[in-house]
Amino acid sequence: MTKRIPVVEKILSVNDRLALENQARFDSAGVLALNFMASPGAGKTALIEQTVKGLQGQVRIGMINGDIATSLDADRAQAAGATAIQINTGGDCHLDAVMVQSALAQLDLTALDLVIIENVGNLVCPAEFKLGTHRSVLVASLPEGDDKPYKYPGMYRGVDVVVINKIDLLPYVPFRMDFFKKGIEVLNPGVTQFELSCRTGEGIPAWLAWLEKQVREFKES
């Protein structure tokens, strides 16, 4: 029988409580919050750039970026038109609720409709720590390989959306789309999926339409 160390349980319990506080702040402001997760290089920041540009004038977007070091990704989001806050984790491989709470103190939620939290590039730890977001989005990419749902089931099992990025590379890399999607479906039946390319723009309109609808329905609820 698998046993959890009590210290870990206590840490997660405190984190969950703070995550609920974060979500209450988002709810009170009428702001939809997304947790973007992926392995390094999958295209989280590129998708955020496309999202900010594509919804400009329709959805006011804030971005919280988590990275071990540098502000490169937050700078890219800021240049695209988002209000961006940088969190350097100092070596931690994931964001947690207290980090997000500190970033929220620097954001004027009344001036936003959507907050995208770009988690640290990692397919293990981020799934364990709730942040207080309403949706979890996993960005996968073809160069990573088609076996990732089978190797990292915890990540694929717990998300609301899977974005399959870099589909323009399908003719050039050994990637079995059917095998990949079968792994997702077994772990997360009926999960929302998008196939797109941030480089060519293919599939981006469908993603933007879905996201705009999510923001609108959240504000009306």
CB atoms within 10 A of CB 178: 8
- The per-residue pLDDT for 73 is 67
CATH of domain 6-220: 3.40.50.300
Q: What does DSSP assign to residue 6?
A: H
Using alpha carbons, list the distances in angstroms from residue 168 to 44, 184, 209. 16, 20, 21
The pLDDT of residue 125: 83
Residue that the structure tokens 């990949």 belong to: 180
* Sequence spans of domains, the chain: 6-220
User: Would you state the pLDDT for residue 5?
Assistant: 42
How many other CB atoms are there within 10 angstroms of residue 120's CB atom? Answer: 20
**Sheet arrangement for strand 61-67:** 83-88, 61-67, 114-118, 32-38, 135-141, 161-165, 192-195
Q: Is-contact 133 78, C-beta < 8 A? A: no
3-state secondary structure of 118: strand
Cα 217 → chain centroid: 19
The pLDDT value recorded for residue 4 is 47
> Mind listing the pLDDT tens digit of every residue in the chain (221 residues)?
454 445 445 667 888 999 999 999 999 999 999 999 999 999 999 999 999 999 999 999 999 998 766 666 677 877 777 788 888 776 677 899 999 999 999 999 999 999 999 998 889 888 889 999 999 999 999 999 999 999 999 999 989 999 999 999 999 999 999 999 999 999 999 999 999 999 999 999 999 999 999 999 999 98
